[in-house]
Amino acid sequence: MDATQAVILTIITASTPLLLAAIGELVTERSGVLNLGVEGMMVMGAVCGFAAAYTTGNPYIGILAGVLGGVALAFFFAILTQTLATNQVATGLALTLLGLGLSGLIGESFVGLPGVKLQQLSIPFLSSIPFIGPIIFGQDILVYASVALIFGTTYVLFKTRIGLIIRSVGDNHNSAHALGYNVIAVRYACIMFGGACSGLAGAYLSLAYTPQWIENMTAGRGWVALALVVFSTWLPKRLAIGAYLFGAVWIMGLYVQALGFGIPSQFLSSLPYVVTIIALVIISGNKTLTRVNTPACIGQTFVPDR
């Protein structure tokens, strides 16, 4: 029972940064914007979060700094793609390179320093329930925030007028503009939301998952988050299932190495990315499923009439 509990807890912590980053990108893409800079925003959130928490000794200030770091890069992306109408794919790739380089520069003096760990919450009586207590009631605040984001995003996108506007902008920006909606403003807001979620995911890595700063510590998680959005066919609930599935694959590879099976460690390390590719191939083979939910204007530049 203890071993099973430990595995489940580890899967939850491994899945949370994927879930946080992917839900932000899902909203961004629902508005018709393809931001491939998730990895860069995540790593900036990680270094800003660690630096602020280490300097102040307060992990919650680190969380705020991580969010601001992700939003700052997202705002830069929004200016380039929405105001200056640059190519979204090229700009997103450049944003990732910028984030990786800038985070390495900022975090150079923090390498090897002990971090300030974000502590798990302890709910009296509930957290002490055997087996399920630590799993359900003993997580840190960002785990609960990631679950709340899934339900909140589902409600806003499909049950509110704001969500209808976001989806209409992503499906047909010309019609939305003709109806009087400010397409650029809507996309700016969604890009900022995506940046905040990516920064939050990065802060989780450096404050909760492994409370330290290591250059390139995101290790490709931003790209997995991008793949998760496609895997979920742009639906938040499917995204949550996919995030925990990918997190389980990530952790099981480490457990298999620890158990000493005769499987090359290089293959086990690459397993999450191999599963990502396989999942994308399977999803792309179902044209009907992807066509129904894919935002029709994703990646397309919109320039309003002047």
The angle formed by the CA atoms of residues 187, 188 and 189, to the nearest 5 degrees, is 90
- Specify if 25 maps to a domain: yes
Average pLDDT over residues 125-137: 84
- Specify if 300 maps to a domain: no
- Specify if 141 maps to a domain: yes
**Does residue 262 have a pLDDT over 80?**
no
Tokens of 117: 């760990």
- Specify if 302 maps to a domain: no
Enter the pTM of the model.
Answer: 0.92
CB atoms within 10 A of CB 35: 29
User: Total domain count for the chain?
Assistant: 1
**Does residue 1 have a pLDDT over 60?**
no
Smallest CA-to-CA distance from 51 within 2, 13, 102 is with 102
CATH code, domain carrying 43: 1.10.3470
Range of the domain at 192: 2-293
- Specify if 145 maps to a domain: yes
> Taking a C-beta distance cutoff of 8 angstroms, is the pair 224, 246 a contact?
yes
The angle formed by the CA atoms of residues 264, 257 and 278, to the nearest 5 degrees, is 65
In this prediction, residue 152 carries a pLDDT of 97
- Specify if 255 maps to a domain: yes
Q: Within its chain, how far is the Cα of 172 from the centroid?
A: 25
For the stretch 155-174, what's the b/e string if a residue is b when 16 or more beta carbons lie within 10 angstroms of its beta carbon? ebbeeeeebebbbbbbbbbe
Task: Report DSSP letters for 187-206, one per residue.
Answer: HHHHHHHHHHHHHHHHHHII
- Specify if 303 maps to a domain: no
Mean pLDDT, the chain, as a whole number?
A: 90
In this prediction, residue 264 carries a pLDDT of 76
pLDDT range class, residue 195, cuts 50, 70, 90: very high
- Specify if 304 maps to a domain: no
**Does residue 37 have a pLDDT over 60?**
yes
Higher pLDDT, 71 or 282: 71
